[in-house]
Chains A and B, each alone.
Chain A
Amino acid sequence: MALIEKKGTGWAALQIKKPSAGSWTEAYPELGTEPISYEDSISPEFLEAERQAIFKRCWVNVGRVEQVPKAGSYFTKELAVVNTSIIVVRGADQKIRAFHNICRHRGNKLVWTDYPDREDRGTCRQFACKYHGWRYALDGKLVFIQQEGEFFGIDKERYGLVEVNLDVWEGFIFVNLSPTPAQPLREFLGEMASGIEGYPFHKLTQAFRYRSEIKANWKLCQDAFQEFYHAPVLHKKQMPTPEMGQALSEAGYQGIHYEVFGPHRMVSSTGLVRAPRDADPAKPIDRLTRSGLHGPWDQLSGGTAELPRGINPTKSPLWGLDSFQFFPNFVILIWKANWYLTYHYWPLTPHSHVFETTLYFPPPKNAAERLAQETAAVTFKEYGFQDSNTLEATQSMLQSRVVDKFPLCDQEVLCRHLHKVVQDWVKAYHA
């Protein structure tokens, strides 16, 4: 992921122009350049504050419309960070709604199979509680009470499921746990979202969904995936040849473009710079399946001739991917070869979170396209392992509080921004 190009028989570093302020970081003076504290990633009190100030007030992405393809399709989402579970369901009227996953009778979790704490999905006509058989329509209305005559003047109208605010942007389903969201979804997503509208998300429906529990604060994981300064070092051994790994780590990493949009942020990056015709940088399996860490080599079908203006915003010929970080915990990463992935970071405790990644490709036309996807997915997992284990190592030492300030370089500007925005939201809420 670093910037090198083949020069003669070796590799040479490429140069990128920074903003006139002198650096990406100084282009946003409010971010400062001082070393930062990670107290916000180890303190139990701070996580409590984040629940109230951020996760109970922000629009958060919980999935895509393809997960509820027809009337009665539903999935549940565990939202431990706000102490609830929700049901997302497409109604008979085709409208997608979200409800707290709780029966109005005696509070049983309404939808689950085998294990109450695991996420569930399926298709149904009504939701029936396992406990006493109360039933709810897809629009949340209570439609059946077992032995209704035994109750005391009960009015079914008053015992429908508790609805959660829901809205959809570009096929992404967002919910807001506040009964009265401060902003509509589209306004919250802001200008960064405008720039990528029109990308063919709805055509890239072939999904590989990964889940992991990582023993590190949710922001540390987000940091790991919003800077690529680490890539030439941590992933040096994955390079196809030792010479290339060495050249990459010596050249280091330079982002093509960084930009901040209110609470949201993005980085535009090169892919691994290599000519596909140049066989030596690729592993045998990559050459066989024409794929690798950066996804399939061949432009995938079902794309769009012209990318929306926010993608590869500098129109760099070196461009390989853009990572769009929507506050608080949702990332869309778009690759040049017409596929994308998402990250979600769901806090569990100050020292742990659920990390979800979904890779989205066009439905493959044949076995060759399907195998290229398999190589991309398998390779993603190989790298993901190294990242997540490194995070656990970081978390454990941050908790020692032996050191309280850490310097961030210019390629880590987005980490600086995330921590500042989180702290600003917490401060504003408690002000």
Chain B
Amino acid sequence: MPDKPILLPAEFADLEPFAADWALRRERERYAKRLSSSMEQMQAFYDAAFPRAAAAIQYLNQFDLDKLPEPAQNLLFLLYSLVTVSFPVEVWKQPHVPDAGASYLDLVDEPVP
């Protein structure tokens, strides 16, 4: 368990059980989490987060992206992770890209948030 709980906006408190694992700031962390997760773990996260995602986007749209309160920023990071797990869940049915072997493509520079 992390030292400090990762908080989401009150309206999305139902997703908080997933926040410690998936509200990750950097793409590198999200991708590593995807590769180290089982399909069951990703499916559970996807099944919980996807139905709430449209409402979450609508909620976040009210803020200036550069001035997101911390819980809102965590929610945005959680949505990034939803995108990260979407290919394994919706298409590949496995954490890795098929036929990708040891190849890698590092995101060395990314916008935050």
Contact = CB atoms under 8 A, between A and B. Distances in A.
Contact of B50 (A210, A284, A390): A284
A368 B79 CA distance: 10
A285 B106 contact: no
Interface string B76-92: 10011011101100111
A378 B105 contact: no
B5 interface: no
Interface stretch (A39-47, A201-209, A296-304, A316-324): A201-209
B111 A388 contact: no
B15 interface: no
B110 interface: yes
B108 A368 contact: no
Contacts of A365: 65
B99 A389 contact: yes
Interface residues of A, number: 40
Interface string A368-411: 10110111011101101110111010000000000000000000
B109 interface: yes
A285 B82 contact: yes
Contacts of A379: 87
Give the bracket for the number of chain B residues in contact with chain A. Answer: 35 or more
Contact of A285 (B60, B65, B83): B83
Contact of A382 (B53, B57, B97, B107): B97
B2 interface: no
A384 B107 CA distance: 12
Main secondary structure on A side of the interface with B: helix
A212 interface: yes
Contacts of A358: 109
Given A208-B110, A214-B103, A386-B97, A364 B65 contact: yes
Contacts of B97: 382, 385-386
A355 B108 CA distance: 12
A388 B103 contact: yes
Given A208-B110, A375-B83, A389-B100, A283 B90 contact: yes
A16 interface: no
Contacts of B79: 367, 371, 374
A210 B106 CA distance: 5
B105 A367 contact: no
Given A284-B86, A386-B99, A370 B107 contact: no
Nearest to B76: A367
A208 B109 contact: yes
A238 interface: yes
Contact of B110 (A209, A212, A392): A209
Most buried by B among A210, A211, A285: A285
A364 B107 CA distance: 19
Interface of A: 206-212, 214, 237-238, 283-285, 288-289, 355, 357-358, 364-368, 370-371, 373-375, 377-379, 381-382, 384-386, 388-390, 392
Given A373-B111, A389-B103, 17 more contacts: A208-B109, A209-B109, A210-B108, A212-B104, A238-B91, A283-B86, A283-B91, A355-B105, A366-B65, A367-B79, A377-B110, A385-B100, A385-B105, A388-B105, A389-B99, A389-B100, A392-B101
Interface of B: 27, 50, 53-54, 57, 60-61, 63, 65, 76, 79-80, 82-84, 86-87, 90-92, 97-101, 103-111, 113
Lowest 7 A-B CB distances belong to which pairs? A367-B60, A209-B109, A285-B86, A385-B100, A385-B97, A389-B103, A388-B103
